[in-house]
């Protein structure tokens, strides 16, 4: 895909270099269009070396190539990171004084803006109005993170991490202007992230799930018209506006939130990595080391108890009703007892859900990665839908295609 990476004049411009790397490593062709001010923070050689293309900021170079029109017209996606308050204002009002603003006026592809500025500027009525105008026009304006800003101050206005912008950009690319509206009117409940089971006030048993796949499913479902609730277990990624978030920490909390909501939804997707076990006892104060010279290696034994299988529980709650459509996920490694698909089929039968999305896991596969490949199994059918390797957003679109088919059959 052809991606234009616009870079505004903010201190966070250095993060755009990492974002550029994520795009090029994903096989995309990236043209960087910095503003004049951006080059005061990160110079042209950095952008040229990382993108493999020359950069220009004004509309007066390479005139015969008509860059002020061509770059925008040919783009599959435009991402601007960081987007300053000034750039938001120019984009909202259609000003076109330099190359980047010309690109924004000529692009007809999805546009993703990642603002970064001081809290006062972000909160100002002028910026609020500009953001509202842009969103009304279909531009994705990512919410800035809260945290440490350039000086000693903190608050909303930080540029989200490159990985989060990358994921939002891929979702926009996958959803695009022509995303089918085939989930309009559907209520979708998705659990994502990984549960944490506390041992004491500072320690927990956790897992490596980043929540990216569930977030990509939420974004793509919303782009296809669904109203989406995301039960998010310890999710550290920003969630786009319009998606309802229910934060949870433990498996029992996740169970409570999912079970109480599932009957009111058309589709429930259990992506969350739920801990199968939790410590039998929680200690109110930090578990301490002992200092007994006679037994210097003394260590506590932690007894675990089983957590409920939430997926199997909502299948049981549904009983003989036809709604909701229930989708499970399974991270599998093949072993001596069977291939990944054999294990997936056995799990689908055991859990009783309608669809099971199986992904093969290894040390560097799936967890925290942006690319994935999965097999989608359907109860009562031998057919397997293979998706990927592709971005989690693209894979999500394929999963929704299968779910939409399943909704029609229910």
Check residue 358 for interaction with ligand C5P (CB under 6 A): no
Check residue 270 for interaction with ligand C5P (CB under 6 A): yes
Query: Nearer to ligand C5P by C-beta: 307 or 391?
Result: 307
Query: Nearer to ligand C5P by C-beta: 98 or 309?
Result: 309
Query: Nearer to ligand C5P by C-beta: 194 or 238?
Result: 194
Catalytic residue among 207, 234, 307, 359: 207
At its nearest, how many Å lie between ligand C5P and the CB of residue 165? 27
Q: What is the token pair recorded at 199?
A: 């041992």
3-class secondary structure per residue, 288-327: CCCCCCCCCCCCCCCCEEECCCHHHHHHHHHCCCCCCEEE
Query: Nearer to ligand C5P by C-beta: 51 or 207?
Result: 207
Q: What is the token pair recorded at 134?
A: 């842009």
At its nearest, how many Å lie between ligand C5P and the CB of residue 304? 13
Check residue 329 for interaction with ligand C5P (CB under 6 A): yes
Among positions 221, 239, 274, 315, the unique one binding ligand C5P when judged by CB under 6 A: 274
Task: Please tell me the distance from the alpha carbon of residue 377 to that of residue 406, in angstroms, as a whole number.
Answer: 12
* Buried/exposed 368-392: b ≥16 CB within 10 Å, e otherwise: eebbbebbbbbeeeeeebebeebbb
Check residue 86 for interaction with ligand C5P (CB under 6 A): no
Alpha carbon distances (Å) from 93 to 101, 212, 233: 10, 34, 39
At its nearest, how many Å lie between ligand C5P and the CB of residue 313? 7
Check residue 372 for interaction with ligand C5P (CB under 6 A): no
At its nearest, how many Å lie between ligand C5P and the CB of residue 314? 8
Check residue 276 for interaction with ligand C5P (CB under 6 A): yes
Check residue 344 for interaction with ligand C5P (CB under 6 A): no
Residue 207 falls in the annotated catalytic set: yes
Check residue 272 for interaction with ligand C5P (CB under 6 A): yes
Closest CA to 362 of 333, 386, 340, 389: 333
At its nearest, how many Å lie between ligand C5P and the CB of residue 353? 8
Among positions 82, 144, 328, 344, the unique one binding ligand C5P when judged by CB under 6 A: 328
Restricted to residues 197-256, the positions that interact with ligand C5P (CB under 6 A) are 251
Query: Nearer to ligand C5P by C-beta: 256 or 276?
Result: 276
Task: Please tell me the distance from the alpha carbon of residue 355 to that of residue 107, in angstroms, as a whole number.
Answer: 38
Check residue 88 for interaction with ligand C5P (CB under 6 A): no
3-state secondary structure at position 212: helix
Restricted to residues 302-321, the positions that interact with ligand C5P (CB under 6 A) are 307, 309-311
At its nearest, how many Å lie between ligand C5P and the CB of residue 385? 17
Q: What is the token pair recorded at 296?
A: 């210097």
Task: Please tell me the distance from the alpha carbon of residue 239 to that of residue 197, in angstroms, as a whole number.
Answer: 23
Sequence-distant (≥ 6) Cβ neighbours of residue 399 within 8 angstroms: 217, 327, 357, 374, 376, 387
Query: Nearer to ligand C5P by C-beta: 270 or 407?
Result: 270
Task: Please tell me the distance from the alpha carbon of residue 239 to that of residue 215, in angstroms, as a whole number.
Answer: 7
> How many binding residues for ligand C5P (CB under 6 A)?
12
At its nearest, how many Å lie between ligand C5P and the CB of residue 82? 35
Task: Please tell me the distance from the alpha carbon of residue 264 to that of residue 383, in angstroms, as a whole number.
Answer: 29
Query: Nearer to ligand C5P by C-beta: 69 or 312?
Result: 312
Farthest-apart Cα atoms in the chain, separation: 84
DSSP 156-198: EEEPPPHHHHHHHHHHHHHH-TT---TTTT-EEEEEEEB--EE
Question: Contact residues for ligand C5P (CB under 6 A)?
Answer: 251, 270, 272, 274, 276, 307, 309-311, 328-330
Active site residues: 207
């Amino acid at each position: 895909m052809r991606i234009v990476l616009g870079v505004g004049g903010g201190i966070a411009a250095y993060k755009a270099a990492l974002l550029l790397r994520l795009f090029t490593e994903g096989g995309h062709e990236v043209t960087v269009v910095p503003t004049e001010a951006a080059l005061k923070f990160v110079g042209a050689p950095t952008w040229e070396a990382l993108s493999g293309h020359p950069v220009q900021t004004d509309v007066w170079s390479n005139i015969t190539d008509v860059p002020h029109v061509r770059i925008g017209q040919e783009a599959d996606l435009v991402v601007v990171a960081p987007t300053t308050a000034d750039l938001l204002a120019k984009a909202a009002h259609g000003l076109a004084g330099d190359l980047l603003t010309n690109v924004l006026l000529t692009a007809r592809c999805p546009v993703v803006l990642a603002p970064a500025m001081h809290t006062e500027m972000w909160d100002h009525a002028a910026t609020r109005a500009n953001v509202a105008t842009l969103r009304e026009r279909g531009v994705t304006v990512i919410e800035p993170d809260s945290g440490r800003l350039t000086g000693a101050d903190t608050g909303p206005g930080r540029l989200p991490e490159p990985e989060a912008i990358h994921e939002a950009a891929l979702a926009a690319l996958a959803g695009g202007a022509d995303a089918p509206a085939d989930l309009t009117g559907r209520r979708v409940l998705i659990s994502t992230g990984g549960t944490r089971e506390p041992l004491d006030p500072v320690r927990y048993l956790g897992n490596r799930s980043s929540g990216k796949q569930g977030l990509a499913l939420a974004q793509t479902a919303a782009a296809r018209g669904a109203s989406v609730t995301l039960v998010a277990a310890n999710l550290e990624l920003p969630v786009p506006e319009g998606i309802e978030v229910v934060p949870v920490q433990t498996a029992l909390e996740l169970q409570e939130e999912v079970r109480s909501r599932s009957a009111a939804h058309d589709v429930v997707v259990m992506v969350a990595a739920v801990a199968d076990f939790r410590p039998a006892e929680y200690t109110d104060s930090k578990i301490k080391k002992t200092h007994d010279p006679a037994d210097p290696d003394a260590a506590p034994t932690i007894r675990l108890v089983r957590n409920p299988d939430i997926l199997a529980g909502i299948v049981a709650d549904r009983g003989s009703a036809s709604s909701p459509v229930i989708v499970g996920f399974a991270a599998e490694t093949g072993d001596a007892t069977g291939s990944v698909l054999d294990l997936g089929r056995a799990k689908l039968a055991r859990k009783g859900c309608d669809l099971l999305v199986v992904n093969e896991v290894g040390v560097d596969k799936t967890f925290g990665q942006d690319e994935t490949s999965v097999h989608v199994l359907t109860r009562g059918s031998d057919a397997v839908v293979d998706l990927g390797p592709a971005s989690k957003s693209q894979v999500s679109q394929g999963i929704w295609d299968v779910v939409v088919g399943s909704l029609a059959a229910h």
